[in-house]
A and B are shown apart, each in its own frame.
Chain A
Amino acid sequence: KNQVEQSPQSLIILEGKNCTLQCNYTVSPFSNLRWYKQDTGRGPVSLTIMTFSENTKSNGRYTATLDADTKQSSLHITASQLSDSASYICVVRCLGEYGNKLVFGSGTILRVKS
């Protein structure tokens, strides 16, 4: 069964600290993996997209890694800011019989405290 599991479910950190969010998936066949940031009451915003051949990709203070062998991805946030408080969603695209299909993780809620 195609699944995407994220951990932790929620996380509280102090401003300026680093954190790492995890995403494990069983989706197959794999197409790509996206990390989204979603602020409360807003739509998700894509942070990174990673394909099978990519191991790491950065977007400012966000760095995503992908291990296609173990089917794991992580999102590392450095020097956290209050504005990083949001829900982070891992979404994996798989190649389905009727075309591509998105499988969503349930997200990690990050709260950055001053």
Chain B
Amino acid sequence: GAVVSQHPSWVICKSGTSVKIECRSLDFQATTMFWYRQFPKQSLMLMATSNEGSKATYEQGVEKDKFLINHASLTLSTLTVTSAHPEDSSFYICSARQDYSPLHFGNGTRLTVT
């Protein structure tokens, strides 16, 4: 079945550094990818939607200069958390779909900023 690979699964970084998270669709062309953030005991919160070859659409309250999203190919999207701070510590999840087929989720990246 369709698989979305998210890497890394967890990362620890120092405050002020940038972290890049990759989301890859392994056996399908992901025309749309979604990035979510999840705080403990809370539901997924959609951060942005990206379509291949175009700029990402960010949800209200999400800083586009803080969370850089690139969807340069049909199999890869990246989320870069720039100048990370401890409040950016969270669980980040991507999902991908081809056209209007079912969503496939990555297994998430746990980011800890010290």
Q: Which A residues form the contact surface with B (CB < 8 A)?
A: 9-10, 34, 36, 38, 40-46, 87, 89, 98-104, 106-109
Contact = CB atoms under 8 A, between A and B. Distances in A.
Contact of A104 (B10, B105, B110): B105
Given A43-B45, A46-B43, A98 B107 contact: no
Nearest to A32: B41
B2 A101 contact: no
A42 B97 CA distance: 12
Interface of B: 1-2, 10, 32, 34, 36, 38, 40, 43-46, 49, 59, 91, 93, 100, 102-105, 107-108, 110
A98 B43 contact: no
A41 B50 CA distance: 10
Nearest to B45: A43
Contacts of B110: 98-99
B36 A43 contact: yes
Contact of B43 (A44, A103, A109): A44
Given A98-B10, A99-B110, A102-B108, A43 B44 contact: yes
24 contacts: A9-B102, A10-B102, A34-B43, A38-B103, A41-B49, A43-B36, A43-B46, A43-B59, A44-B36, A44-B44, A44-B46, A46-B43, A87-B102, A89-B103, A100-B40, A101-B107, A102-B38, A102-B93, A102-B107, A102-B108, A103-B107, A106-B102, A106-B104, A107-B103
Given A40-B100, A102-B93, A106-B2, 19 more contacts: A9-B102, A36-B43, A36-B44, A41-B49, A43-B36, A44-B36, A46-B43, A46-B44, A89-B103, A89-B105, A99-B110, A100-B40, A102-B91, A102-B108, A104-B105, A104-B107, A106-B105, A108-B102, A109-B102
